[in-house]
């Protein structure tokens, strides 16, 4: 597989993922991914994307408890 950005070779490895939602910062350090050996771009497969989305949905739901009413 080739990287769509630089056409470098993609190899299996891990990559970090971070997101900010509702005042929460989430950092996942080592998600399985295809990582470009040339530029470092990471591509996550469907299972990993589904898991990341589940985590984000859970955080969005749970973080509502922190909401401050004006």
Note down pLDDT in tens along the chain; length 70 residues.
999 999 999 999 999 999 988 778 899 999 999 999 999 999 999 999 999 999 999 988 888 777 665 5
- Domains of the chain listed by start with CATH number: 10-64 (3.10.20.860)
Position 41 scores a pLDDT of 96
Position 70 scores a pLDDT of 52
Position 66 scores a pLDDT of 75
Identify whether the C-beta of residue 32 lies closer than 8 Å to the C-beta of residue 48.
Answer: yes
Q: Could you give the CA distance from residue 43 to residue 35 in angstroms, rounded to a whole number?
A: 6
Q: Could you give the CA distance from residue 49 to residue 32 in angstroms, rounded to a whole number?
A: 10
Tokens of 36: 């470009």
């Amino acid at each position: 597989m080739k990287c769509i950005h630089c056409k470098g070779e993609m190899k299996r490895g891990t990559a970090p993922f971070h997101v900010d939602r509702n005042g929460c910062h989430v950092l996942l350090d080592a998600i399985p991914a295809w990582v470009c050996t040339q530029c470092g771009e990471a591509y996550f497969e469907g299972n990993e994307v589904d898991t990341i989305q589940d985590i984000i949905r859970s955080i969005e739901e749970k973080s509502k408890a922190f909401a401050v009413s004006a």
